[in-house]
């Protein structure tokens, strides 16, 4: 809380693009209900009128609209105009299921972020959880990254690692990864809003970041019994 008599700091204005359920949008809405959170959502755009995320925006009193994606360039032009008008300083893709026009990506360069349910660069594109299971990896997770023209590429801001369980199917793995997404996306937006991210080529330096020191092993049982 800002001390009494002191005006609270202006918050970073965020526009969010969705296509469906909007649970990541909800995580950002929930984070921003704390007045000390350094960002606020000023506009939600969906390319689909039936997206459940639109009702979440409405419920939170956030401006929202549908822009049908009939044509990639027309969508980009309309979305860009709406976002500029809203004063958005960051655009967050949250389950936005269309490929963005490269002109749009360029004009929002370094102010456009995405969340993807895998440890990129592994498993970009559709059905990343299915891809992870098919590849037999022991860990998957999620990634928040700056957006570049090629799908699911760009400097990585944050990742969460989620172990694959022996009885996982696509849905079970997706559900556990989603829980991590809901924590990591608000954190990444906070880091951006606090001005703590510096893009150095394909890497992102985060001031004051503390990476974990431990390694994760999966499975762990054999290691424990052999004393490693
Ligand atoms: C999430 O898994 C996100 O990572 C991916 O699409 C899904 C959207 O879910 N890009 P929701 O609409 O945020 O619930």
pLDDT along the chain (228 residues), means of 10: 68 98 98 97 98 98 97 97 98 97 98 98 98 98 97 98 98 98 98 98 96 94 62
Which residue CA neighbors atom 10 of ligand 1 most closely? 95
* pLDDT for 9: 83
Q: For the chain, give the number of residues.
A: 228
Which residue CA neighbors atom 4 of ligand 1 most closely? 116
* pLDDT for 225: 58
* pLDDT for 146: 98
pTM for the predicted model, two decimal places? 0.95
CB atoms within 10 A of CB 13: 17
- Sign of the C-alpha dihedral computed for residues 208, 158, 212 and 171 taken in this order: positive
Task: Give, for ligand 1, the residue of 98, 178, 186 to mutate: max count of ligand atoms closer than 8 Å to Cβ.
Answer: 178
Under 8 Å between Cβ of 146 and 158: no
* pLDDT for 222: 72
Under 8 Å between Cβ of 103 and 79: no
> Would you say the CB of residue 168 lies under 6 angstroms from ligand 1?
no
Residues taking part in catalysis: 116
């Amino acid at each position: 809380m800002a001390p009494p008599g002191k005006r609270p700091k202006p918050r970073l204005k965020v526009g969010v693009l969705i296509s469906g359920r909007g649970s990541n949008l909800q995580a950002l809405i929930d984070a921003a209900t704390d007045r000390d959170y350094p960002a606020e959502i000023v506009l939600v755009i969906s390319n689909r009128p039936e997206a459940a995320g639109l009702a979440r925006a409405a419920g939170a009193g956030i401006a929202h609209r549908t822009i049908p994606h009939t044509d990639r360039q027309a969508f980009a032009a309309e979305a860009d105009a709406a976002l500029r008008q809203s004063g958005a300083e960051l655009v967050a893709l949250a389950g936005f299921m269309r490929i963005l026009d490269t002109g749009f990506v360029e004009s929002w360069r370094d102010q456009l972020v995405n969340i993807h349910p895998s440890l990129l660069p592994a498993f970009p594109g559709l059905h990343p959880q299915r891809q992870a299971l098919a590849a037999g990896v022991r860990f998957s997770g999620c990634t928040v990254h700056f957006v570049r023209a090629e799908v699911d590429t760009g400097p990585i801001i944050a990742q969460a690692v989620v172990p694959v369980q022996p009885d996982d199917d696509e849905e079970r793995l997706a559900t556990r990864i989603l829980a991590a997404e809901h924590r990591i996306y608000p954190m990444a937006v906070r880091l951006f809003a606090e001005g703590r991210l510096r893009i150095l080529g394909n890497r992102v330096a985060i001031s004051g970041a503390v990476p974990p020191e431990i390694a994760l092993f999966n499975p762990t049982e054999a290691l424990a019994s052999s004393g490693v």
